[in-house]
Amino acid sequence: MPGEAELILFSIQAALRINQQFRHAYADSTRSQAITLPLPNFPAALDRSSMENFYRFGDGKELAGRNLRVRSLLERLSQTGDLSPEEDQEFAGLFQEHAALTRARGPGLVFTGENAAGITDEDIVHLVTIRQWREGYDPTPSLLRRMAGTLVNIAVDYFAGMPGVLSARSPGGKALRSFLEAFEHIDVATDGRDQILEGLFVATLDTLRAHAELLSEDERARTLVQVVARGIYEDSQKLLLTPGKTLSDTERIRTWSALVFGSVLQSAVTTVFAHPERFLGVTGAAQAELASEVGRAVLGSILSADGVDLTTLFSRESLDRIVKAALTVAGHHPDLVRGNSRFLRTLIAATVTGLARPAKELGQDLLPEAIRLVLESTAENLDLLMPAGEDQPAQHLLVVAARTMLEQLAAPAPPGAPWQVRFGPADSLRIMEAVIAEVLENPGWLERQAGDANPLLGELIRDVLETLRRSSPSRMRKQTGLAILEAALHAAGRRLEFLDKTSKNRRFIGLAIEAVLASIFRPAHARARWGLARDATVRRLVKVVLGSLERHGVSEAKVAAVRKVMEDTVKALARGKSWSWDDLTARLEKGLA
Amino acid sequence: MILSPWKAHGRLGAARLALGIVLVLGLVGCGIGHIQTLREAEEAFSRAAERENRGRLDPNTPLSSMAESASGYRVAAQMVNDLVATQREELRRDNLLCTAYLVQAMSLWRLSEHDAAVQVAAQGRDCDPPTSTTDTTPRDRAVLYAIPALVRIDQANALAVNPTASEAEFDKAKSEIDRAVRILEEAQRMASRDHPLRGYLMTSKLAALRVWQVAITREKLVDPKRQEQQAAFNERARKAWLEYRDFTTCQLGRAGDPSVEDWRKLFQLAAPETPVACDQPPGG
């Protein structure tokens, strides 16, 4: 088995060979392409010079000898070189008559066509379209032959250290044969589109190498390779044929076709083949068809995302994760995916569209993982998450929830607020996972209460973030703020009263968090702050307090009691007294009872 | 058996990197831009030529069609001009320089930029790739050789059909036609006996002879020169026509091709006394 360095070296050599062979093939094709050659200028219509030849040397010579008038006109031409208009007309008339007579005497010998006016375009045009070489004598190999040679060379090099892997009877050999069979009847175009084929070929080799063991069930592997390759190829061809494609677009389609194909093959063998129980009722060729639909959906989504260039955001790893998530959806809902990649494609598109605006502020890198999270959660909760129906992916609850959450995270801190932290893609995904867990537990998070601008979820995040920005010192770490937000989500998920408002229009969740933060970060108690203001302590304090309120209920009086316990604890610490988590919990229990 | 995760990860990572390299090097940086440009120029040229050929032979063709042809030739000539200026060596390396010169020279010829066309065709004699190869370009080389002949036919035609008529003008046109026919016959010998290009070159020769035939009338020659020239023309035209008939029948396998009879009809040559006799079966 070659090492990584050797593999990379091989890849470079293979790429250079593919490049060179393709260039040669493309040049051959361009050189031998038929060109229509223009004819030089010449009088193409029958005229007096033709008529004169008819009488002097042609089929009318005998008639001219017998016809005095013709002889006279020919004599005049010989003497003066010209005829008067009347004579010219007479000459043409005589010619028409004699030509018809000659034609009647010898059918097929003089005029064989209807046209008597000269050379016709249809008769001549096909003879001036000329290939470089005569038919069947082109000395250069055809594009397919050139590429086939290169493909064989690459395969030989690729498996040089693994003799037997590609023998005709081995699973790998059969899978590779399936791949080639998939392209056996495809008309090889000569404008460069067929570089897709090489990309797919290398992806097949890659999978065969990496998963030789899994491909031992050769019939399934053969079908998988064939069906997926054909599906991806067809879709990429359609994308390439869309009008207005630039060279960069073409290159992107080629690259991503191969990447998605490789990803689908590898993901399929590690999910579909390795865990068939997850694909209930889907066996044999139907598995391959599902995998193909997934590949087409992912390829289509990545290359056709409206307004967002997903190709710059995806890595091979994130692509693999999305393909696996999409395969999981397909496994759970084969009827939605089979024969119709639109469902997955629309779901991915709706996720991208829904999250694109806030993601612009937070970092678009989060989009691939957001898609994965939505797909993974959808697999087992389709009915719950798509109450408006499977054809309404824009109403997908997780898409709505993620958008709501991201909009709040993306909102800038108010000017002058001490905690000015900005959130990034990783922070957003962390909260998104917490939000998804909450929404799956209780879709009521996305309901809107009277007078609120956002659904409950959005109101909570907005309120907690406002409290954090106002009450936390600038040095508090972002991770601490995120942990507090997660704790707040968790607590409010268990007690809706946290989202109720006081008489002063403040939500209790914000007030409770503020009670903790204000007591810790009060300037007068520097000694107490020294111990309590550690990030880990702050996180735990908020969790403990919210947990106590969860158990004892939420009201203005209870929040006031929390405030008092926290202030007493801080004062005691400032006086140098000891404290413990058990002691604090006991005080809270007592104060809130 | 499923690979253990650590093992799979290392190998997969390397394999993915390898695939990435293949794709990036192999598919992104293909260096085929010059080929693509030439291909587009070829296509623009062919479209213009087809339109012009049809238009020339159809008296009802609107002027706008001829303008479109000219525009197509202009685009093709400019594309190849820029391409040769910037990527001559790449074209030569890929054995495409002859094709590029063909498109450029023929476009310039059709745009009536005769000096430039002949100059480009002369440059085209040096269009072989740097290393010896079996991939010769018989069509391109023969056409480039024939360009001066094609230019001469156009010039002779212009003399023949202009309003003035004089023996001196006829002599000038005839001289161009004689030279053109010689060049075309030499170009024919550059292609194999059954190469379809011979059909084009023969057609061009017939066109040259047609100009000669018309020039005799339009320049108002009188006897004895008129009859001498007509007799000479008839002899040459008959020979050229028989050659064309035999070629289309025996080499192209197109027995009874209507263009053969069209030419005979245009010249008003006497019907042939003998049928076509091929050495080998037609098309063989």
DSSP-assigned states of every residue in A531-551: HHTSHHHHHHHHHHHHHHHHH
Same domain, B146 and B117: no
Q: Is A577 exposed, middle or buried (0-12, 13-18, 19+ CB in 10 A)?
A: exposed
Give, as one character, the DSSP assignment of residue B247. I
Angle at Cα A565 formed by Cα A562 and Cα A570, nearest 5°?
125
The residue out of A328, A360, A388 marking a domain boundary is: A388
End residue of a domain, out of B100, B130, B160: B130
Same domain, yes or no: A371 and A435 = no
Interface of B with A in 176-215 (CB under 8 A): 192, 194-197, 199-200, 203-204, 207-208, 210-211, 213-214
Cβ distance of B214 and A49 shorter than 8 Å? yes
**CB contact at 8 A, A347 and A319:** no
B153 to A42: CB separation less than 8 angstroms, yes or no: yes
* B53 and chain A in contact, CB less than 8 A: yes
Are A384 and A409 in the same domain?
Answer: no
Of residues B151, B141, B165, the one with CA closest to residue B207: B151
Burial call A483-506: b when 16+ CB within 10 Å, e when fewer: bbbbbbbbbbbebeebbebeeeeb
From first to last of its 593 residues, chain A has per-residue pLDDT tens of 445 555 556 666 666 666 676 777 778 878 888 899 999 999 988 999 999 999 999 999 988 888 999 999 999 999 999 999 999 999 999 999 999 888 877 644 444 344 444 556 666 666 777 776 666 666 665 555 555 656 666 665 666 555 555 555 666 666 666 666 666 554 444 444 455 666 777 777 777 666 665 555 557 777 777 788 888 888 887 887 777 767 677 778 888 888 888 888 888 877 776 666 666 566 667 778 888 888 888 888 888 766 677 777 788 788 888 888 888 888 888 777 776 657 888 888 888 888 888 888 888 888 888 888 888 888 878 877 887 777 777 778 888 888 888 999 999 888 888 998 899 999 999 999 998 888 888 888 877 766 666 788 888 999 999 999 998 888 888 998 999 999 999 998 888 889 888 888 889 999 999 998 888 877 666 766 666 777 788 889 999 999 999 999 999 999 999 999 998 888 888 788 887 888 889 999 998 88
Whether A402 and A505 map to the same domain: the answer is: yes
d(CA A117, CA B265): 9
Nearest Cβ partner for B135 among A121, A137, A140: A140
Contact A81 B59 (CB under 8 A): no
In a domain, A88, yes or no: no
State how far the Cα of B125 lies from the Cα of B144, in Å rounded to an integer.
Answer: 8
Are B120 and B145 members of one domain?
no
Residue of A nearest to B203 (CA): A39
Shortest distance between the Cα of A150 and any Cα of chain B, in A, equals 12
Domain span holding position A407: 396-592
Q: By mean pLDDT, which of A336-345, B78-87, B168-177, B215-224 is the weakest? A: A336-345
Task: Give the CA distances from residue A84 to residues A94, B222, B223, in Å, rounded to whole numbers and listed in that order.
Answer: 15, 15, 18
Q: Please indicate, yes or no, whether residues A439 and A569 belong to a single structural domain of this protein.
A: yes
CB A6 within 8 A of CB B14: no
Report the Cα A254 to chain-centroid distance in Å. Answer: 12
Q: Are residues B146 and B123 in the same domain?
A: no
Whether A573 and A525 have beta carbons less than 8 Å apart is answered as yes
> Residue B11: pLDDT band by 50, 70, 90 thresholds?
very low
The verdict on B118 and B149 lying in the same domain is no
B16 and A CB contact within 8 Å: yes
The torsion of the CA quartet B22, B28, B33, B37, rounded to 10 degrees, works out to 110
Given A370, A388, A406, the domain boundary residue is A388
The CA distances from residue A225 to A154, A221, A305, A498, in Å, are 18, 6, 26, 54
Domain identity same for A410 and A304:
no
Q: In the block, which residue shows the tokens 């069209």?
A: B262
Contact call for A42 and B208, based on CB within 8 A: yes
Give yes or no for B283 touching A (CB within 8 A).
Answer: no
Partners of A134 on chain B (C-beta within 8 Å) are: 192, 194-196
List beta partners, residue A118: A45
Identity of the residue in A7, A22, A46 whose CB atom sits nearest the CB atom of B266: A46
H or E stretch covering A528: helix A526-532
Write phi, then psi, for B94 (nearest 5 degrees). -90, 10
pLDDT for residue A305: 64
What are the pLDDT digits (tens) for B212-253? Answer: 999 999 999 999 999 999 999 999 999 999 999 999 999 888
Q: Give the distance from residue A266's alpha carbon to the nearest chain B alpha carbon, in angstroms.
A: 10
Asked whether residue A218 is assigned to any structural domain, the reply reads: yes
Q: Do residues A293 and A356 make contact, with C-beta atoms less than 8 angstroms apart? A: no
Is the backbone of residue A281 left (phi > 0), alpha (psi -120 to 50) or beta?
left
Are B21 and A46 inside 8 Å of each other by CB? no
Beta bridge partners of A129: A36
Q: Same structural domain for residues A510 and A564?
A: yes
Residues B117 and B7 in one domain: yes
- Evaluate whether residue A45 is within a structural domain: no
- Hey, which residues 149-168 in chain B have their CB within 8 Å of chain A? 150, 153-154, 157-158, 160-161, 165
Could A7 and B137 be called an inter-chain contact, meaning their C-beta atoms sit closer than 8 Å?
no
Collapsing DSSP to helix, strand or coil, A396 comes out as coil
Question: Which element (helix H / strand E) includes A35?
Answer: strand A35-36
Inter-chain residue contact A38 with B52, CB threshold 8 Å: yes
- Cα–Cα separations (whole angstroms), residue A475 to A275, A466, A534: 48, 16, 11
From the CB of residue A317, how many other CB atoms can be counted at a distance below 10 Å? 13
Each residue of A524-549: pLDDT tens digit? 667 666 667 777 888 899 999 999 99
**Cα gap A433→A361, rounded to integer Å:** 19
What's the CA gap between A298 and A346, in Å, rounded?
Answer: 10
Q: What are the start-end ranges of the E strands in A43-166?
A: 129-130
What dihedral do alpha carbons A563, A569, A573, A574 form, nearest 10°? 40
Is there a single domain that holds both residue A275 and residue A323? yes
What is the DSSP annotation of A171-238? HHHHHHHHHHHHTTTS---SSSTTHHHHHHHHHHHHHHHHTTTGGGSHHHHHHHHHHHHHHHHHHHHH
* B279 lies in some domain: no
Residue with tokens 């820029």: B82
Closest by Cα among A170, A185, A278, A275 to A229 = A185
Angstrom distances, CA of residue B274 to CA of A43, A182, B230 = 28, 55, 23
B272 occurs within a structural domain: no
- Cα B267 to Cα B216: distance, rounded to the nearest angstrom: 13
Of all residues in chain B, the one with the smallest CA distance to A202 is B19
- Token pair for B89: 């060596």
Q: What is the pLDDT of residue A565?
A: 92
Phi, psi torsion values for A191, nearest 5 degrees:
-115, 20
With tokens 């069979």, the residue in question is A181
Contacts of A42 in chain B (CB under 8 A): 153, 157, 207-208, 210-211, 214
Residue of B nearest to A2 (CA): B11
Which of A335, A370, A388 is the last residue in one of the domains? Answer: A388
Domain membership of residue B62 (yes or no) is yes
In a domain, A458, yes or no: yes
CA distance A284 to chain B (A): 19
Q: Say if B259 is an interface residue toward chain A (CB within 8 Å).
A: yes
Could A7 and B25 be called an inter-chain contact, meaning their C-beta atoms sit closer than 8 Å?
A: no
Give the C-alpha separation, A371 to A353, whole Å.
11
**Cα B145 from Cα B122, distance rounded (Å):** 8
Domain membership of residue B274 (yes or no) is no
Same-domain status, B211 and B260: yes
Q: Report the candidate in A551, A547, A546, A548 with the shortest Cα–Cα distance to residue A509.
A: A546
Nearest to B211 among A10, A42, A129 (CB): A42
B232 touches chain A (CB under 8 A): no
The answer on A491 and A460 residing in a single domain is yes
- In sequence order, the β-bridge partners of residue A507 are A501
Residue A149 CA to residue A168 CA, distance in Å, equals: 18
Q: Is A70 a member of any domain?
A: no
Sign, Cα dihedral of B9, B10, B13, B19: negative
Q: Number of A:B CB contacts under 8 A? A: 341
**Shortest CB distance from B19 goes to which of A41, A82, A206?**
A206
Cβ proximity of A64 and B268 under 8 Å: no
Same-domain status, A255 and A348? yes
> How far is residue A504's CA from residue A401's CA, in Å, rounded to a whole number?
28
Residue A460 CA to residue A457 CA, distance in Å, equals 5
Kindly state whether residue B282 falls inside one of the protein's structural domains: no
Q: Which residue of B has its CA nearest to A62?
A: B270
- Dig out the tokens for A469 from the structure: 């920005």
Q: Is the pTM of this model over 0.80?
A: no
Distance in angstroms (rounded) separating the CA atoms of residues A229 and A231: 6
- pLDDT greater at residue B132 or residue A44: A44
Residue of chain A nearest B33, judged by CA positions:
A247
Query: Residue A91 corresponds to which tokens in the numbers above?
Result: 């000459």
How many whole angstroms separate alpha carbon A431 and alpha carbon A373? 12
- Count of helices and strands (H, E) across chain A: 25, 2
Residues B101 and B47 in one domain: yes
**How many distinct structural domains can be found in chain A?**
2
B255 and B224 co-located in one domain: yes
Measured CA to CA, the distance from residue B32 to residue A432 in angstroms comes to 46
- B278 lies in some domain: no
Same-domain status, B121 and B145: no
Angle, helix A478-494 to helix A508-520, in steps of 10 degrees: 140
A 10 A CB-CB count for B189 gives 12
8 Å CB contact of B271 and A24: no
Among B130, B165, B198, the domain boundary falls at B130
Cα gap A555→A567, rounded to integer Å: 18
B 90-109 near A (Cβ less than 8 A): 94-96, 99, 102-103, 106, 109
Are both B167 and B123 inside the same structural domain? Answer: no
Q: Provide the 8-state DSSP code for A38.
A: P
Strand pairing report for A35-36 and A129-130: antiparallel
- From the list B3, B36, B192, the residue facing A213 with the nearest CB is B3
Residues A256 and A400 placed together within one structural domain of the fold: no
Distances (CA, A) of A481 to A362, A463, A540: 16, 13, 12
Cis? peptide before B224, omega within 30° of 0 = yes
Candidates B2, B14, B157; nearest CB to A42 = B157
Q: Look at residue A111 and give its three-state secondary structure.
A: coil
Whether residue B275 lies inside any domain: the answer is no
Asked whether residue A507 falls in the same domain as residue A580, the answer is yes
Task: For residue B53, list chain A residues with Cβ-Cβ distance below 8 A.
Answer: 36, 38-39, 121, 124-125, 128
Same domain, B6 and B26: yes
Rounded Cα distance, B58 and A121, in Å: 7
Contact residues on chain B for A107, CB-CB shorter than 8 A: none
Q: Which of A268, A266, A259, A158 is nearest to A207 (CA)?
A: A266
Residues B72 and B192 reside in one and the same domain: no
Is residue B148 assigned to a domain?
A: yes
- Give domain status of residue A282, yes or no: yes
Same domain (yes/no): A481, A547: yes
- Chain A: residue nearest B148 by CA? A40
Question: How many distinct structural domains can be found in chain B?
Answer: 2
Indicate the residue of B8, B57, B196 with minimum beta-carbon distance to A121.
B57
Domain of residue B227, residue span: 139-267
Q: Within a domain: residue A206?
A: yes
> Is the residue at A102 inside a domain?
no
